Structure 1
């Protein structure tokens, strides 16, 4: 059961809980719990049974796959006000979790049991709308990743990734070659070779654990496949 202060946080994360007299709000407050998850904590391993459904109040969780060769690829991340669509899918289809989910930054989450999640989908239209909108948005993200992996060259994908990261973090990125490889489903050796090519063209300057973008227009041309 949530305290009043926890409910107020929940209402900022899920606006349909703002009315304290609404049945969906009263039910959420009585059946949800707030948990804290430290960085690097594993939320789900591949093959786990999804016994709970969580909505993040703060922090960020990464969902990824590891192939037979040991290579990783990031499927998506979710943050405040969001949840894991694979968890929702597994609960609704009664299947095991098909990936790995780990906490990247200190997180707090509102958690409900999987049976409660299913009941609310049937009972409360605002909850059902939230879940289906979440599924719709994240499906588009996953489809974009499939399109990239299947049809775009790795140098194009790395250039686009660096541009995206620089828009958020600035021209100097604290990234290792292995981190980029894990994000994009490649190997460290391939990433290193492509970054060396970018550096030779003057687009970036690469040092240990850091990549500085020197020529954004040149990098944008590579991202466009030119």
Structure 2
């Protein structure tokens, strides 16, 4: 149960569906909810586990990924403030095991809703139903994009787009990231990423140092797309 008024206000500020005028739903929500804190790189959920709670992030970042038989990772999506995990939501709705791996990427704070309540609210409260279905449809489009890029787009083109997007989101051309982290996000090997980055560097598009990549010429990098 969450009873602290300041904490309740913070949570309402994060999740728009709680701002709707439905005092009954709000009462049920905060009576069932609890708050958890996790630190990097703490595991959240393993593949094959039953989903006992749905986590709604107040702060921090979680990463959801698949691990192949060859040990290679592919990032499906990340979850940030005001978001939740669609795979957990779909597993709760369908009573199926979690099909991926979720880890804490940045120290996070989350609201936990027990599975039983999350299921019951689907038929009781339109605000909750709309939130979950909206979440699933939005994230599903992201996963389809990931699959399409892996299947049909060259790795060097994807890497150029990845670097430009990271620079834009960070507001800086200096990107703090390792070759392995990029490989995991793009679903390829570290060796492939290192080879392409070396080529980019030889063409003076980037400058690569340990744990950091500086974008020197975004125009030429954009031509790779």
TM-score, normalised on structure 2? 0.95
Note the alpha carbon deviations across 1:181-207, whole angstroms, 9 max, x for none: 011011011111111111111111112
The CA distance in 1 between the partners of 2:92 and 2:22, in whole Å, is 28
1:122 — aligned with what? 123
1:167 — aligned with what? 168
Residues 21 and 217 of structure 1: is their aligned pair in 2 closer, same or farther, counting only changes over 3 Å? closer
Give every structure 1 segment of 4 or more consecutive aligned residues whose post-TM-superposition deviation is greater than 6 Å.
Answer: none
Q: Please say if 1:204 is aligned against 2:203.
A: no
Consecutive unaligned residues in structure 1, runs of 5 or more: none
Mapping of residues 1-226 of structure 1, within 5 Å: 1-3=1-3, 4-18=5-19, 22-169=23-170, 170-222=172-224, 224=225
The question of whether the paired residues in 1 share the 8 Å contact of 2:46 and 2:98 is answered with yes
The question of whether the paired residues in 1 share the 8 Å contact of 2:149 and 2:158 is answered with yes
- Give 1:101 deviation, angstroms: 0.5
Match of 2:70, SS? Answer: coil
The CA distance in 1 between the partners of 2:16 and 2:87, in whole Å, is 23
The CA distance in 1 between the partners of 2:22 and 2:161, in whole Å, is 47
The CA distance in 2 between the partners of 1:107 and 1:121, in whole Å, is 26
Equivalent pairs counted in the alignment come to 223
- Give 1:211 deviation, angstroms: 1.1
The question of whether the paired residues in 2 share the 8 Å contact of 1:6 and 1:34 is answered with no
- Give 1:20 deviation, angstroms: 7.9
The CA distance in 2 between the partners of 1:143 and 1:18, in whole Å, is 31
The question of whether the paired residues in 1 share the 8 Å contact of 2:17 and 2:131 is answered with no
TM-score, normalised on structure 1? 0.95
Match of 2:223, SS? Answer: helix
The CA distance in 1 between the partners of 2:21 and 2:109, in whole Å, is 22
Match of 2:2, SS? Answer: coil
Residues 52 and 64 of structure 1: is their aligned pair in 2 closer, same or farther, counting only changes over 3 Å? same
The question of whether the paired residues in 2 share the 8 Å contact of 1:20 and 1:26 is answered with no
The question of whether the paired residues in 1 share the 8 Å contact of 2:86 and 2:136 is answered with yes
The question of whether the paired residues in 2 share the 8 Å contact of 1:47 and 1:97 is answered with yes
The CA distance in 1 between the partners of 2:22 and 2:148, in whole Å, is 45
